[in-house]
Structure 1
Amino acid sequence: MLMPPLCTQPERYRVAMNSLRSPWLAAFGVAVVVHLALVLAHAQPWESITKCLIAPLLAAWVIEQQGPRIIALALVFCLFGDLFLEIDGLFVAGMASFAAAHVCFVTFFVRRGALDALRRRLWIPLALLVGAIVLLVWVWGGLESALRVPVLVYALLLSATAATALAVDLRAGVGALLFLFSDGLIAARIAERVPEDSVLGGFVVMLTYCLALFLLATAIVQKEARTRAAGGFDPARPTDCWPTLPAEVGR
């Protein structure tokens, strides 16, 4: 029986490095640095404009790398979430967009075997559930009644993303935990548990959010690329990635 060639360590390194040499990823990095500087300077409307460039630039990189479509879709939902949160009266719509993004992330990780892995490591979802409950108890009294149920649902989705990501890939899991931390800070600020002008204000929220997106997207895309490089493209295997010709595998 013929076995697919293993992806050696140099090949793994080459796959990872080639994926990072992209003008889209460079543009993402520039947008993040510029946005964080504008956050510190409180420079509106440029702060809001650059914020809405971050997710789509990363989505363009995912598409360029022929990564999973559902991850590109998750980043598009993040774009709409960022946009809606900048418009008065659309906070719940923004939260709903981010919730849709997390549904995409969870769906992807479940398809990659997260549930089986979590059955063997039940402490991961239990620890995250406890963390979500602690956060909700902390902010609950400061939230408007209309926000309590949406925040509850969203906190559970954040925890589900973190649990399923940790079950599949450590780097993606760290990104999901940073997402949870970033949005937890937003909830704490809304509930007035953290002062708006403290060090845990907009700069830390956006820094951890950008790192979360970067780690999630790059971990997923590079892991998928290494899988293709190790076994080649199997047309019989269900996938949501863009088709890759054998000659292009691992480029």
Structure 2
Amino acid sequence: MNPTRPRPRAARVLLVVFAVLAAVHLVALLVRTATGSGGAHAVADAAVLATKPALMPVLAGYALTRGGPPLLAGALLFGCCGDTLLQIGGDLLFLLGMAAFAAGHVCYLVVFARRGTAPARSRTAAAAAVYVLAWGTLVALLWPGLPADLRGPVAGYSLLLTGMAFGSLRIGPLAAVGGLLFLLSDTLIATGIADWPQAPAPQFWVMLTYIAAQSALALGLLRTAGNPAPAAPATARPVQV
């Protein structure tokens, strides 16, 4: 049996499960923030810990049952590894979690190259300039507040993340929004590490933008499932007479 053959009924069930998990996770984050201690806080904390690692595997299962490319599922499962490692905490696990997300971005870039369509050269150059400028500006602003041992890894990771967001333009508007939301989510994490002022319930906003990002990337790619990027036309050979 082809593992990527679409299975609509299973896909619908998994999509509902993902939506419920996401809603429970986000609500639990708000409850945990609003209740400093007590039974409600403990229940909310348990719900957060249980639902976060489950989100991306369910979304990966949904993508596969929709006939999505295995590398899309791989990107989402690497996201699950990153989610779990960051949830445990600690400097080493933070770096390992960043590496897991980086591997997921590489998976996305490969899928974008295989299934995307390159925009016009002038638009590509302009978009690339904007993304590079945004990356350089952000790193420059964050640099003084980052711990010295994280400056290099954060700069390198953010460059790869920016490349992934730029690459998502090849897929279409929905995936491009997903790439931008991923940039926003990880920027919120970085500003917290750099001790910038945070919005109320900062983890809620991190996860809201992250869940929306992964969902938009997955759905954008699923729209291209089975439609790899067209190959360049072969160069015509002269006819010999």
TM-score (norm 1): 0.78
Residue matched to 2:237: none
Percent identity over paired residues: 38
- Which residue in the other structure is 2:169 paired with? 166
Moved more, 38-47 or 210-219: 38-47
Deviation (angstroms), 1:104: 0.6
Matches of residues 162-201 of structure 1 in structure 2 within 5 Å? 162-195=165-198, 198-199=199-200, 201=202
In structure 2, distance between residues paired with 1:131 and 1:106? 19
Q: Deviations over 1:17-40 (max 9, x none)?
A: x69961101100000000001111
Q: CA contact under 8 A between 2:10 and 2:65: conserved in structure 1?
A: no
Q: Decide which of 23, 30, 46 is 1:40's aligned counterpart.
A: 30
Partner of 2:145, secondary structure, is: coil
- The aligned counterpart of 2:159 is 156
* Structure 1 residues without counterparts, runs of 5 or longer: 1-17, 229-236, 238-251
Identify the residue that residue 31 of structure 1 maps to in structure 2: 21
Q: How big is the shift at 1:87?
A: 1.3
What is the rounded CA distance, in whole Å, between the counterparts of 1:159 and 1:25 in structure 2?
28
Q: Confirm or deny: 8 A CA contact 2:115 2:224 kept in the other structure.
A: no
How many residue pairs align between the two structures?
208
Match in the other structure for 2:135: 132
The residue aligned with 1:223 is: 224
Structural RMSD (CA): 2.0
Per the alignment, residue 143 of structure 1 pairs with: 146
In the alignment, the residues of structure 2 paired with residue 191 and residue 120 of structure 1 have an alpha-carbon distance, to the nearest angstrom, of 36
Aligned-pair CA distance for 1:118: 6.6
Change (3 A) 1:60 1:94: same
Q: Distance in 2 between matches of 1:19 and 1:148?
A: 46
1:153-172 C-alpha deviation (Å, 9 max, x unpaired): 11111111111111331110
Amino acid in structure 1 at the alignment position of 2:98? M
Give secondary structure in 2 for the equivalent of 1:189. helix
2:234: which partner in 1? none
Q: Deviations over 1:142-183 (max 9, x none)?
A: 111111111111111111111111133111000110000000
Given that 1:174 and 1:212 are in contact with CA atoms closer than 8 Å, whether structure 2 keeps it comes out as yes
> Structure 1 stretch 70-79 or stretch 142-151: which is displaced more?
142-151
TM-score (norm 2): 0.81
Tell me the distance in 2 between the aligned counterparts of 1:200 and 1:166.
Answer: 31
The answer to whether the Cα contact below 8 Å between 2:11 and 2:66 also exists between their aligned partners in 1 is: no
Deviations 1:70-114 (A, max 9, x none): 000000000000000011221111111001000111111122355
What is the match of residue 117 of structure 1? 119
The one of the two structures with greater contact order (alpha-carbon pairs below 8 A, sep at least 6) is 1
SS of residue in 2 equivalent to 1:224: coil
Is 1:58 the counterpart of 2:48 in the alignment? Answer: no
| Correspondence for 1:67 | 68
Larger Rg computed on CA atoms:
2
Q: List alignment gaps of at least 5 residues for structure 2.
A: 1-7, 33-43, 232-241
Name the structure 1 match of 2:86. Answer: 85
Contact 1:19–1:222 (CA under 8 A) maintained in structure 2: no
